[in-house]
Structure formats: C-alpha cells, structure tokens
C-alpha cells in the first residue's frame, strides 16, 4: 500500500477541529503519524491564525477515492464551500502525496504545488518525513526546507492530543 501524506489546517476552533479530523482520519486509514503542529498567519486574507500539521498513513484506495473521502470529511466537519478561495476554514485537508506518484497536467495535482509554496506545509512535512524524497524533484523534504526562502517561519504549538 502506498504511503499518503496529508496536510491539515484550521483557523475556526482549530484545536477542536484538528482533533476531530485526526480522529476521523484514524477511523478511515488506521495508524497515523503526525508532525508537530504549527501556528501560521492567514495567507491571502485578514483572519485568525491557522494551526497546521501533516499526517502520514497507508492506504490501498486510489488517489481519486482518497480525495473524495477527504472532501466528504471536510463537509462532515462543517467546512463551508463557495466563498473566497482564501478564507477562514473549520478544516482543510489536502492529499499532498500518494506514494511515488508524480502526476502531470491533466491528472490529479499530486504532489500538491503547496508543498513548495507554503512554509506551513513544507515545514511540518520536513519534520515528519524529512529523509523522504519529493516524488518529482527527487530532493528530500529536509533539503527542500533548507532551501526554502522563508520570510516567517511557522511557530510550533504545544498541542494536546488527549482523547484520541
């Protein structure tokens, strides 16, 4: 089964919503490994800071099926759709990678471009699986983080996962 890497973020009741999301992901995929949690300012709009992390697990489902399940999970957790692209969210869960899949144009956007664009994705990814290689670039996530031109590094947050 391929390893999948997921990014999670929330700025509406983030502690509650991240706990609920991780619980639901464990029910769906089984064992999860979690990165540290980071606080980052909202990007692209004025709003409360986000809490972000990355989760790793295994799945025999297709990337498309996982994407549909993640969207349904976001909806179950109160994600509001139809608003501005950059806005507050109860939960945002994205499939970052699916095994060593390096899909091009016309296919699923995997690995997600956000890995190389946002510190709030790359930093927890480098913390969790720093020695693994980006499927397309063949550089480790630790190398990508070291080369990342960060202007504001995400702030680590002490997060209590009690009750999961």
Among 66, 56, 59, 67, smallest CA distance to 5 is for 56
pLDDT in tens, 20-55: 999 999 999 999 999 999 999 988 778 899 999 999
Mean pLDDT of 4-20: 95
Q: Where are the domains of the chain?
A: 3-157
**What are residue 7's DSSP bridge partners?**
54, 94
Q: What is the DSSP letter of 62?
A: -
Residue 14 has pLDDT above 60, yes or no: yes
Q: How far apart are the first and last CA of the chain?
A: 24
Name the CATH architecture for the domain at 3-157: 2-Layer Sandwich (3.30)
Start-end of H helices in the chain: 14-29, 63-76, 114-117, 119-129, 141-147
Using DSSP's 3-state secondary structure scheme, residue 6 falls into strand
pTM higher than 0.75: yes
Q: Interhelix angle for 14-29 vs 63-76, to 10°?
A: 140
pLDDT in tens, 133-161: 999 999 999 999 999 987 778 999 998 88
The answer to whether 17 and 90 are in contact (CB under 8 A) is yes
């Amino acid at each position: 089964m391929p390893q999948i890497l997921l990014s999670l973020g929330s700025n509406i009741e983030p502690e509650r919503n991240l706990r609920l999301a991780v619980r639901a992901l464990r029910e769906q995929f089984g064992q999860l490994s979690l990165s540290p949690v980071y606080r980052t300012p909202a990007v692209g709009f004025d709003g409360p800071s986000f809490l972000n992390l990355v989760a790793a697990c295994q799945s025999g489902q297709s990337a498309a099926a996982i994407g549909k399940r993640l969207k349904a999970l976001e909806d179950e957790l109160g994600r509001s759709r139809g608003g501005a692209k950059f806005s507050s969210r109860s939960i945002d869960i994205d499939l970052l990678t699916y095994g060593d899949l390096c899909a091009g144009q016309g296919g699923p956007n995997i690995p997600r471009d956000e890995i190389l664009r946002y510190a709030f994705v790359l930093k927890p990814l480098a913390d969790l699986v720093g020695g693994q290689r980006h499927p397309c670039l063949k550089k480790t996530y630790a190398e990508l983080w070291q080369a990342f031109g960060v202007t504001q590094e995400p702030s680590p947050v002490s997060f209590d996962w009690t009750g999961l």
